[in-house]
Structure 1
Amino acid sequence: MSELREDVLAYPKARMMEQVDDYFGTKVADPYRWMEDVDSPELAEWVEAENRLTQEYLAQVPSRKAMHGRLMELMDFERYTVPSGYRLQDGGTRYFYQHNSGLQNQAVVYWQDGLEGERQVLLDPNGMSEDGTVALNGFSVTDDGRLAAYALSEAGSDWLVWRVREVETGKDLVDRIEWSKFSGASWLKDGSGFFYARYDAPGAESFKEANYFHKIYLHKLGTEQSEDALVFERPDNGELNLGAVVTDDGRYLLIHQSEGTSPNNELAVKDLSDPEAPVLRLIAEADAAYSPIENDGTFFWVQTTLDAPNGKVIGIDLTKPEREHWVTLVPESRNAIDQVSMVNDTLIVLYLEDAQSMVELHRRDGTAIGRFSLPGIGTAGGFGGRRTDGETFFGFTNFTAPGVVYRLDMRTMETTVFRQPELRFAPDAFETKQVFVASKDGTRVPVFLSYKKGLVLDGSAPTLLYGYGGFGVSLLPSFSSARVLWMELGGVYAQACLRGGGEYGESWHEAGMKLQKQNVFDDFLACAEWLIDAKYTSATKLAIQGGSNGGLLVGACITQRPELFGAALAEVGVLDMLRFDKFTIGWAWKAEYGSPSEDAAEFAAMYEYSPLHRLRAGVAYPATMVMTADHDDRVFPAHSFKFTAAMQAVAPPQPALIRVETRAGHGAGMPLSKRVEGVVDQYAFLVRALEMAV
């Protein structure tokens, strides 16, 4: 194939239409509105042509095949989730966990009786579709470990179908639940049924239709879904997301209610021991986050941010539910609480200390016991179980250590390895460090750097800067075979912990929300400048990457400071900030971004940074590859379509490409084969754009 010159790329023609909207007196053109009809033949033809162009461009990278082979090697290691244990009637314990042998598209659910028992397959999604796109997206076991409710999604959709399987026989019962989304399943104590959340059945356009009025239902085994009892709804507010959990003692149903993606919530309680008991609106004002941890009769331990943006643990007694009777058990500290669990009557408090995990143990009355030593610097997770359990499990990982699963005996505090993978690379060949960067307003922003040992700081290293900065999501050290490949190619991986995330608690999150969103972009730009000033890289060797809200981050930064980057990867991004709330669950993000159609000040702020609306002719934008999926019903793919068409229309000298994955969604449940292909295409793009010698 002859060399495809970047300055003569022939982009597919995208029709422009006359569409102008009025936002508080500001006229805004939307010439690619037609791309919101994602099922149109015209759009399908455009997508096919764009994919063809992108693959022609990437095919000219000679190392592409070798990268694919090496990534497959790096990913060929066993992966385990942290197990959950359920007590059997004979006094034993039945454990459930997921395992991927290495190169399976989807993880397999196993169960075993006892720590040394023979593991048995309960659920293997790999045989449920030819392309591996059927994925497990929900799992809940009865208290006696006899039955499992499981939810499957197809082609990356958020829509779930719930089924029930007998553990010992592997047979499915007749039960089938549809039109569930953003829901778990929580069993009654006797295993006779479970609670779940769903929407009303949508119309013909279920893929793009906005979802309102989440509801809680009780499904009794052996009955049709049409007979399910409506347990709780909020007809006064269609933008509430609901969740229901049965307490471990089986007595109470806890109903969580939050508006959109707001971290704050209301909390209702229903006494399941009394069929006539009304629903008690325990917390009727969503003035903070309230997350029940455990209960002992009417006494509840609750994690909250009430008057404590870094979090604290309080006690609430249902016999005296008024706020003046609430007691603080674990007060707020300088470190943000990530999660709290209770095992063996011990509160296990997982903190974030400068974006790394730190664990403290407290007695049930809140009295501090001390720190629990983790295996090193990195990220811990798990620590689940019941208040009366004598053991718990946790996982630990960092940038060069895949997840190891440990068992912790809560009576002796002895830690043993439950599962540990064998690796196909040498972790000692790399090093990781943490630095702190001053943002535009002086805010201290943590950045993790990982690379091969012996790096020379002469500004020549290709560097991939990754960020997210939103929805209270914390970016902590974690393992990725793809990042190892990047470092083996000579690249530096940089992970920035931006405002808008949860690394330093709710105040850190709020500093990057709504009218403060520009802080997130300023933080990321400051990190880019630091990497250049510190001679890790140069502007022509610096690439940025982010997905979803992170795709917005990438789009905003390349349109605000295009000269700062050599390449950009924007994955499933929110790129049209004026219409994000029109599709599927996008309305829920108004709690994070603001409302472009209802609030003039919030519109003005979003219009100022909206990537689609900042593109200008004559600007030398960095080489950019947009990535999306045709079945993404989380971030509607029209965001990526419109942004790409608009970027190509201003004729940048660097390539502006789009890669559209088929039969895939927002990323969850994507089969390994598609993930590998996507990563290799990203790196092939960066190899060419950054002129890497590989």
Structure 2
Amino acid sequence: MTAARAADPAPDPYLWLESVDSPRAMAWVNARNAYSTGVLEADKRYAQNYQDALAIAGDKDRIPMPDFVHGAVYNFWQDPEHLRGIWRKTTLASYRTATPEWKTVLDIDALGKTDGKSWVWHGANCLQPDERRCLVALSDGGEDATTVREFDLDTGAFVAGGFSLPHGKQNVAWEDADHLLVAREWTPGDLTASGYPYIVKRVTRGQPLESAVEVYRGLKTDTEIVPTVQRDAQGHTLATIQRGIDFFHFETVVVTPQGAKRLAIPAKSGVAELVAGRVIVKLDEAWTAGGRTFPAGALAALDIGAVKADPANLKPVLVWAPGPRESLEQVSATRDTLLLSTLDNVRGRVSVLTPAGRGGWTTKSIAVPDNLAVNLGATDLVSNRAFIQMSGFLTPTTLALTDTTTGALDTVKTLPPKFDASRDVVEQREATSTDGTKIPYFIVHRKDIAYDGATPTLLYAYGGFQISLTPNYSGSLGKLWLEHGGAYVLANIRGGGEFGPAWHEAGLGVKRQIVYDDFASVARDLIARKVTSPRRLGIEGGSNGGLLMGVQFTQHPELWNAVVIQVPLLDMIRIGKIAAGASWAGEYGDVNADPAAMAFWQKTSPYAQLKPGVAYPVPFIFTTTKDDRVGPQHARKFAARLEEFGDHVLYYENTEGGHGAGADLKQAAHTTALTMTYLQEKLID
């Protein structure tokens, strides 16, 4: 007998709950659903919460977010009469009016009834430049796997004998009108350990999938392979394939008539856009090439002719570099310009960059209000028009149209207020983490707050995958929480992208405890300032944020009275064996290959750290059966282990919805109402 054998963990008694659709597992789910909905729906506030959540989600006066497609403005819309949604169009002139004249292009509810499927819209990919033909992706029940079918915008119908890709996890790009670049499971087993495709083939119109010709093959140890075709208004085209070595490191190849050739850019980078013959590369690590060094977080440009002629020898030109408190959020191209959204100390900014002579660029800022989140909307490849969205915690979303050549902003639509914000105020504060780093956070609270520790407070964060959290307007949060006197806190902890790649990398792998310390430090700062107290403090997070909640639940149960754990990762020892969990080794480390990662997660994984006899708060755990990304297995086993210890658990698993709140508006409103009723019970009562 060896020491290693003696340290082996005890067998997992809840492995049977990992069988997603087994009768035994679903009987367990149905029993917990019945109990939890019975408890929460019996609360006298639930019915009103549900009505308010559904009304806000289905309000016909909310902003229909636009796309420029095929010479018109397109929008995907859901409301109580169209629960799964309609894809519709209007003219730009009509869209700018208060009551646009919409024409339905595709009705997903009606299509689902005709096909006998629980279709959920997963978007459309239209062939530029004319965008008449589109590849429509439909998910059965909301999972990541889709069915892809060719649709003709002129006839308003699916193309008879057109491109059709059966159900599966797949990545598709138009190479030209008669060819697609497709990554999918071509034969059984053609998937990575993460469950994603790694073989790209060229599919030709009119030929069966069996005749597709292989273009590129990755490895089964990769995360996934993604083909992309970039086009600009000047007629340049660049087809690339991005091989995911892990979630953050890639090998990019250029598809040429001579085959796939590697593009010599850093592993933590990728092609972001193509504009005026310049290939825009987003860098998440420093790059030395052509005698120059470009910092992490910057944008660089390559001449497309040089890229195609010799992708192994590149001479990049700097396009944009971040300042000490800046980070790049979004990049979009119009006909002649590049549009950037950036953060400056977590405040939104927008810039227009225009190609100039000898590979240079000119830069100008678009004036946007301060202290708001600013997001790029649709851009138009045949003009320099672009939509920009602006919103804040208490500021309803405004949609503006700009011409990037002038930088002028023209307000097109403003969301009517969904709650009374007159008594509230927003502040940005800082907490000090365990290593002395200042962690910014936003707090929304009553102007006349009494600093006596009695304010019901909801603390939210994500802390992973270089995703930035910024102020956003939520009608349901305002109506169901702020109007009830609650405070809301958004924490910009490490692991995110608020301050560029370094902010993310500080919490990667076995360094991740600092992310969890950041979050707890914000909580302690709120308590020290007497904004709230453990009795009145609740926390919420989903997906990677659900893992964050699980860690806080086990490491600091004394700090919270409510914990909302949504579509979570919780069993970090078996993460690689559940759904797409193997694809995130770049974020969390590989417990199967790295002893240090295994040691870290053995002492940190929420499922492994649950212990009997601890005074845990009663959690509300939400997941979905159809989540084929994270999977419901984590949430199920966590709840079962707590029940084994005699702890009270509220658990709800929606049988549809994928990695989200629900497959339609009613399901999403039900989830919102259950969550807010739970928080009101635990923190306000």
2:80/2:665 contact within 8 Å kept: no
- In the alignment, is residue 330 of structure 1 matched against residue 320 of structure 2? yes
With 677-686 and 515-524 compared, the bigger mean Cα shift is at 677-686
- In the alignment, is residue 279 of structure 1 matched against residue 272 of structure 2? no
- In the alignment, is residue 164 of structure 1 matched against residue 157 of structure 2? no
2:675 and 2:3 map into 1 onto residues whose CA distance is 38
2:83 and 2:640 map into 1 onto residues whose CA distance is 32
Amino acid in structure 2 at the alignment position of 1:177: L
Amino acid in structure 2 at the alignment position of 1:678: T
> In the alignment, which residue of structure 2 is the partner of 1:601?
596
> In the alignment, which residue of structure 1 is the partner of 2:649?
656
Within the candidate set 62, 72, 75, 1:97 is matched to 75
1:352 and 1:155 map into 2 onto residues whose CA distance is 36
1:312/1:332 contact within 8 Å kept: no
> In the alignment, which residue of structure 2 is the partner of 1:289?
269
Change (3 A) 1:84 1:40: closer
1:491 and 1:128 map into 2 onto residues whose CA distance is 42
> In the alignment, which residue of structure 1 is the partner of 2:665?
672
Change (3 A) 1:102 1:223: same
Change (3 A) 1:111 1:212: closer
1:543/1:568 contact within 8 Å kept: yes
User: Identical aligned pairs, as a percentage?
Assistant: 28
Deviations along 1:111-158, one digit per CA (max 9) or x if unpaired, are 234533753222222334479952211311222132221101121211
> In the alignment, which residue of structure 1 is the partner of 2:353?
362
Instruction: Classify the secondary structure of the residue corresponding to 1:377.
Output: coil
1:403 and 1:182 map into 2 onto residues whose CA distance is 33
Identify unmatched segments of 5+ residues in structure 2: 96-100, 287-294
- In the alignment, is residue 265 of structure 1 matched against residue 247 of structure 2? no
- In the alignment, is residue 632 of structure 1 matched against residue 632 of structure 2? no
With 78-87 and 162-171 compared, the bigger mean Cα shift is at 78-87
With 102-111 and 395-404 compared, the bigger mean Cα shift is at 102-111
> In the alignment, which residue of structure 1 is the partner of 2:676?
683
C-alpha displacement of 1:373: 1.1
Change (3 A) 1:296 1:625: same
Deviations along 1:139-189, one digit per CA (max 9) or x if unpaired, are 112221322211011212110111111113211113321244263x43345
Map 1:142-153 onto structure 2 (within 5 A).
142-143=127-128, 144-153=130-139
1:390 and 1:221 map into 2 onto residues whose CA distance is 33
2:35 and 2:615 map into 1 onto residues whose CA distance is 21
1:404 and 1:107 map into 2 onto residues whose CA distance is 23
With 107-116 and 526-535 compared, the bigger mean Cα shift is at 107-116
> In the alignment, which residue of structure 2 is the partner of 1:15?
none
1:527 and 1:38 map into 2 onto residues whose CA distance is 36
Amino acid in structure 2 at the alignment position of 1:168: D
1:500 and 1:453 map into 2 onto residues whose CA distance is 31
With 660-669 and 123-132 compared, the bigger mean Cα shift is at 123-132
Deviations along 1:368-425, one digit per CA (max 9) or x if unpaired, are 4332111442222225546662212222222234433221122333322333333443
1:554 and 1:24 map into 2 onto residues whose CA distance is 32
C-alpha displacement of 1:43: 1.8
C-alpha displacement of 1:294: 1.2
Amino acid in structure 2 at the alignment position of 1:478: N
> In the alignment, which residue of structure 2 is the partner of 1:8?
none
C-alpha displacement of 1:24: 7.8
With 528-537 and 547-556 compared, the bigger mean Cα shift is at 528-537
Amino acid in structure 1 at the alignment position of 2:346: A
1:133/1:671 contact within 8 Å kept: no
Deviations along 1:319-372, one digit per CA (max 9) or x if unpaired, are 454556222232342211112233353332221122232112333145443321
Amino acid in structure 1 at the alignment position of 2:103: Q
2:193/2:220 contact within 8 Å kept: no
Give the TM-score, by structure 2 length: 0.89
C-alpha displacement of 1:622: 0.9
> In the alignment, which residue of structure 2 is the partner of 1:11?
none
Amino acid in structure 2 at the alignment position of 1:254: T
2:656/2:663 contact within 8 Å kept: no
2:632 and 2:501 map into 1 onto residues whose CA distance is 30
Identify unmatched segments of 5+ residues in structure 1: 1-20, 88-92
> In the alignment, which residue of structure 2 is the partner of 1:139?
124
Q: How many residue pairs align between the two structures?
A: 654
Within the candidate set 103, 107, 130, 1:124 is matched to 107
C-alpha displacement of 1:258: 2.0
With 678-687 and 228-237 compared, the bigger mean Cα shift is at 228-237
Map 1:36-51 onto structure 2 (within 5 A).
36-51=18-33
Instruction: Classify the secondary structure of the residue corresponding to 1:441.
Output: coil
Within the candidate set 642, 646, 667, 1:647 is matched to 642
Instruction: Classify the secondary structure of the residue corresponding to 2:453.
Output: coil
C-alpha displacement of 1:519: 0.9
With 341-350 and 22-31 compared, the bigger mean Cα shift is at 22-31
C-alpha displacement of 1:588: 0.3
Instruction: Classify the secondary structure of the residue corresponding to 2:243.
Output: strand
> In the alignment, which residue of structure 1 is the partner of 2:88?
110
Please give the root-mean-square deviation of Cα atoms over the aligned residues, in Å: 2.8
Change (3 A) 1:218 1:452: farther
Change (3 A) 1:24 1:157: farther
Amino acid in structure 2 at the alignment position of 1:374: V
1:641 and 1:412 map into 2 onto residues whose CA distance is 54
> In the alignment, which residue of structure 1 is the partner of 2:426?
432
2:227/2:239 contact within 8 Å kept: no
Change (3 A) 1:78 1:178: farther
With 25-34 and 642-651 compared, the bigger mean Cα shift is at 25-34
C-alpha displacement of 1:236: 6.9
1:167 and 1:268 map into 2 onto residues whose CA distance is 32
